[in-house]
Amino acid sequence: MTLEEVVGSNSTEKKMETVSQALEELLVAAQKQDCLTVGVYESAKLMNVDPDSVVLCVLATDEEDEDDIALQIHFTLLQAFCCDNDINILRVSGVRRLAHVLEEDTGDSNGNEPRDLHCILVTNPPLQPLQSAALQNVSSFCEESRCRNQWVPYLDLQDR
């Protein structure tokens, strides 16, 4: 391994960690401002009605979801819609980490199902647009990835 490879891989890991933290900060801030739409069907409905309000689409899976053909078809359709409407897309692994960040229960004592965290949209309210360093950081990462012909960048969210 050359010095360039060692330094390059270390800076890439730091960049991924920085973007992961920015994504978590963005999701928490958006949730506090009621700017999150959670769930595959809820997200599809919102994008059909008001795609201009969406600034980021997060598609989350874990290893056990990789064989879910229906979910993969939904993801393909959502990704195509996002590309057509210039919406940043980010694929992440770590649904449990997302649940922790968003303080979601994995199930409650009343037997209610947990929310579907496989698709999360961050929307930009028209009156008070989201202006955060976290949003800028995630958007820059998505743009840099597209410049490298990686149209759907991938992040691995680690449990902490």
Q: Where are the domains of the chain?
A: 34-103+114-156
Backbone angles phi, psi at 134, to 5 degrees: -65, -45
- Rounded CA Rg of the chain: 16
Q: Which residue has the higher pLDDT, 143 or 151?
A: 143
Q: Higher model confidence: residue 159 or residue 102?
A: 102
In CATH, which superfamily holds the domain spanning 34-103+114-156? Ribosomal protein L30/S12 (3.30.1330.30)
pTM of the model: 0.83
Residue range 60-82: average pLDDT?
Answer: 90
Q: What are the two backbone dihedrals, phi and then psi, of residue 154, each rounded to the nearest 5 degrees?
A: -125, 135
Can you give the pLDDT at residue 6?
47
In the chain, alpha helices (H): 3-32, 40-49, 69-84, 95-101, 133-147
The residue among 79 and 112 whose pLDDT is bigger is: 79
Band (pLDDT 50/70/90 cuts) for residue 3 is very low
| Residue where the block lists tokens 């902490």 | 160
Residue with the bigger pLDDT between 118 and 150: it is: 118
pLDDT tens across 40-65, in order? 999 999 999 999 999 999 999 988 88
Task: Provide the CA 141 distance to its chain's centre, in angstroms.
Answer: 12
Does residue 128 surpass a pLDDT of 80? no
Residue 158 has pLDDT above 80, yes or no: no
Query: From CA 95, how far away is CA 98, in angstroms rounded?
Result: 5
d(CA 55, CA 52): 8
- Report H helices in 33-132: 40-49, 69-84, 95-101
